[in-house]
């Protein structure tokens, strides 16, 4: 494969291809959709990669302390680039990784990497990160967007300057089963719906807090990006339900959910024509075509024809099935994550080769397990693509926990106006107050980082000069954003978090 391509949000697209091609292998299309072939290290003996660490086994034996000990990641420092730019030896960070079994009958296991906060881990919020796709690994978020380490072209690492695990204990989960290192030997155990996604994540979290019990009383947040606009509300709603259930004794200290450039409600979010026209990427004729197809997409969603809606969308915007979409044909762009860029940055793929180094596999307790490219997850979630999580979203807003939607100004696939359309359509107890509330500048020092509209527990934030992957494009802004969110500081207040780094 000549060029890799990140699978951050390959919503409809990929699936449409697979379904339409019937796996017959129009590989040009697939190459562009899925970045990587399935990777394991078959040429390397298991001795070199170590064995996978399965935490549920210890939990069942009533030995959570042993699970924790087995999950401890040691020796990340030895992967640091030595040659340049590292004035002193990197400080070791404590972290934990391994698998938690979420469905024993299915042998369904979710991989995680937990990185307790550098500052005050005993009181810092615990913040989950879920990548989109569907089918993308959350290790993309860790290594490309906001974890403590950045991978370079030589497959060595260095410390990230604006690291979300500075003041948050970050929990990266490969979700759903079949994404990244997460696996099941049985296809029937892959998620078909957001209910399935939430069920497995909930099983994961209850076990996680048995092992990491000292973190169970910290504030807990769920965050994610892109297709996680579905996952985040799904697990958040599930936790709210369980927390209200008198038969459930183990409560999760849920405080809020945050979503970056998220797809939550396709029917209000399929509206690219006017956006692309107004930023000058298409002309009047093209705008008319977009609007026609989009109307058709919405009608199909209304009629429950989710598959047809997804196929229409593929032909219009992504074009993996036809090798060229209408969007690509008329704009020449091969990248719908930022209106100013036409190609994906090279460094999006470095982390995959890094985590497949045998010594790294050994360090992070994945053994010889495959690192999946997400294609199967996507194809099996095909029916879910065009469905909405809006009713859950509204319940969550009404519950009073904090909700943040943030959006890069330059994104296409989940463009800011699409998120606005969704927000304006929400029915909840403060919908009218929210609409009436003023839009403030969000300032970091003298710099206007973006704009925020906030009312009580709900905030909508535009991040300037960022595309789809906000923390990658604007690390300083992303850092300020997460710390405001998980400490409950409004975006309109002139506070500065950068000094804490
Ligand atoms: C993704 O993985 C599947 C299953 O192993 C494989 O058939 C497919 O070719 C891979 N796709 C790409 C683009 O590497
Ligand atoms: C990167 O890692 C390789 C293999 O461990 C090592 O030989 C090389 O010196 C490292 N590069 C730098 C710049 O430190
Ligand atoms: C395990 O997965 C199967 C197949 O998806 C499902 O029917 C069953 O309810 C799951 N069990 C649990 C405990 O989640
Ligand atoms: C894109 O352009 C090619 C070449 O003109 C054409 O064959 C194809 O039908 C177009 N595809 C779409 C989806 O508009």
154 classed as catalytic: no
Q: How far, in Å, CA of 93 to CA of 97, rounded?
A: 13
How far does Cα 50 stand from its chain's mean position?
A: 28
316 C-alpha vs ligand 4 centroid, how far in Å?
Answer: 10
Q: Is 411 a catalytic residue?
A: yes
The 10 Å Cβ neighbour count of residue 307 is 18
In the predicted model, is pLDDT for residue 28 greater than 50?
no
Integer CA distances (angstroms), 387 to 136, 189, 297, 382, 395, in order? 19, 20, 12, 10, 17
Domain ranges within the chain, ordered by starting residue: 55-269+335-487
Confidence of residue 88 (pLDDT cuts 50, 70, 90): low
- Cα gap 496→484, rounded to integer Å: 9
Tell me, using a 6 A CB cutoff, whether residue 268 lines ligand 2. Answer: no
**Neighbour count for residue 429 (Cβ, 10 Å):** 12
The ligand that comes nearest to the alpha carbon of residue 313 is: 4
The one catalytic residue among 169, 182, 226, 437:
226
**Least confidently predicted of 11-15, 68-72, 303-307, 423-427:** 11-15
Q: Helix, strand, or coil here: 439?
A: strand
Contact present, 344 and 335 (Cβ < 8 Å): yes
What is the spatial distance between Cα 437 and Cα 184, in angstroms, rounded to a whole number?
A: 47
CA 374 to ligand 1 centroid distance, Å: 8
Task: Quickly count: other Cβ atoms within 10 Å of residue 288's Cβ.
Answer: 13
> How much is the pTM?
0.91
Question: By C-alpha distance, which of 187, 135, 141 is closest to 164?
Answer: 141
CATH, range 55-269+335-487 = 3.40.50.1820
Residue 37 reports pLDDT greater than 90: no
For 463, other C-beta atoms within 10 Å of its C-beta total 28
Quote the tokens at residue 304. Answer: 């429950």
Structure tokens at 110: 């979710």
Q: Is the pLDDT assigned to residue 501 strictly greater than 90?
A: no
Question: What are the beta bridge partners of residue 220?
Answer: 126, 254
**Probe target for ligand 3 pocket from 104, 177, 189, with the most ligand atoms within 8 Å of CB:** 189
**146 carries an active-site annotation:** no
CA dist 28 and 3 (Å) reads 11
Residue positions counted in the chain: 501
CA of 4 to the centre of ligand 3 (A): 34
CB contact at 8 A, 338 and 134: no
Nearest CA to ligand 2 atom 5: 79
- Our answer on whether the CB atom of 193 is closer than 6 Å to any ligand 3 atom is no
First to last CA, the chain: 39
- For 394, the enclosing helix (H) or strand (E) is helix 390-399
Structure tokens at 197: 């996604």
Instruction: Kindly state if the Cβ of 373 falls inside 6 Å of ligand 1.
Output: yes
Tell me the ligand closest to 330's alpha carbon. Answer: 4
Q: What are the distances in angstroms from CA 310 to CA 226, 364, 380?
A: 16, 37, 14
CA angle 266, 271, 274 (to 5 degrees): 170
**pLDDT score at 123:** 97
407-426 confidence digits (pLDDT tens): 999 999 999 999 999 999 99
pLDDT for position 314: 82
Mean pLDDT, all residues of the chain:
88
**Mutation test of ligand 2: which of 81, 153, 155, 157 has the most ligand atoms closer than 8 Å to its C-beta?**
81
Q: Is the CB of 324 under 6 A from ligand 4?
A: yes
**Per-residue pLDDT at 388:** 97
Q: Do residues 175 and 138 make contact, with C-beta atoms less than 8 angstroms apart?
A: yes
């Amino acid at each position: 494969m000549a060029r890799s391509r990140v699978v951050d949000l390959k919503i409809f697209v990929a699936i449409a291809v697979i379904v339409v091609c019937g796996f017959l292998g129009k590989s040009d299309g697939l190459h562009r959709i899925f970045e990587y072939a399935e990777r394991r290290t078959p040429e390397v003996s298991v001795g070199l990669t170590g064995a996978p660490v399965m935490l549920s086994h210890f939990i069942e034996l009533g030995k959570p302390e042993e699970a924790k000990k087995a999950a401890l990641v040691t020796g990340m420092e030895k992967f640091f680039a030595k040659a340049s730019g590292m004035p002193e030896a990197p400080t070791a960070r404590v972290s934990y990784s391994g698998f938690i079994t979420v469905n024993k009958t299915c042998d369904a296991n979710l991989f995680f990497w937990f990185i307790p906060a550098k500052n005050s881990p005993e009181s810092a919020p615990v913040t989950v990160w879920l990548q989109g796709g569907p089918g993308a690994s959350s290790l993309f978020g860790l290594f490309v967007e906001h974890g403590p380490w950045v991978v370079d072209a030589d497959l060595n690492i260095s410390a990230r300057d604006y690291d979300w695990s500075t003041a948050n204990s970050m929990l990266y989960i490969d979700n759903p089963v079949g994404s990244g290192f997460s696996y099941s030997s049985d296809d029937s155990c892959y998620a078909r719906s957001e209910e399935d996604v939430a069920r497995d994540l909930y099983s994961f979290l209850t076990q996680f807090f048995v092992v990491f019990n000292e973190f169970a009383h910290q504030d807990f947040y769920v965050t994610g990006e892109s297709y996680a606009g579905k996952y985040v509300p799904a697990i958040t709603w599930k936790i709210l339900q369980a927390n209200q259930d008198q038969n459930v004794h183990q409560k999760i200290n849920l405080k809020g959910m945050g979503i970056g450039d998220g797809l939550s409600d396709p029917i209000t979010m399929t509206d690219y024509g006017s956006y692309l026209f107004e930023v000058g990427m298409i002309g009047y004729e093209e705008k008319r075509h977009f609007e026609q197809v989009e109307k058709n997409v919405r009608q199909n969603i209304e009629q429950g024809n989710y598959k047809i809606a997804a196929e229409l969308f593929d032909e219009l915007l992504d074009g993996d099935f036809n090798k060229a979409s209408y969007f690509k044909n008329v704009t020449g762009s091969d990248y719908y994550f930022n209106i100013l860029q036409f190609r994906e940055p090279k460094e999006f793929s470095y982390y995959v080769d890094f985590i497949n180094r045998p010594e790294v596999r050994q360090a992070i307790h994945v053994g010889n397990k495959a690192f999946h490219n997400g294609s199967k997850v996507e194809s099996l979630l095909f029916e879910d693509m065009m469905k909405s999580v809006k009713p859950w979203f509204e319940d969550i807003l009404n519950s009073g926990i904090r909700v943040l939607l943030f959006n890069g100004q330059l994104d296409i696939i989940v463009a800011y106006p699409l998120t606005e359309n969704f927000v304006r359509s929400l029915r909840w107890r403060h919908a009218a107050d929210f609409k009436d509330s003023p839009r403030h500048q969000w300032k970091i020092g003298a710099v206007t980082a973006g704009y925020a509209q906030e009312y009580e527990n709900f905030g909508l934030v535009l991040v300037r000069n960022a595309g789809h992957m906000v923390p990658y494009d604007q690390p300083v802004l992303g850092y300020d954003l997460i710390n405001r969110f998980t400490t409950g500081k409004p975006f309109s207040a002139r506070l500065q978090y950068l000094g804490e780094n």
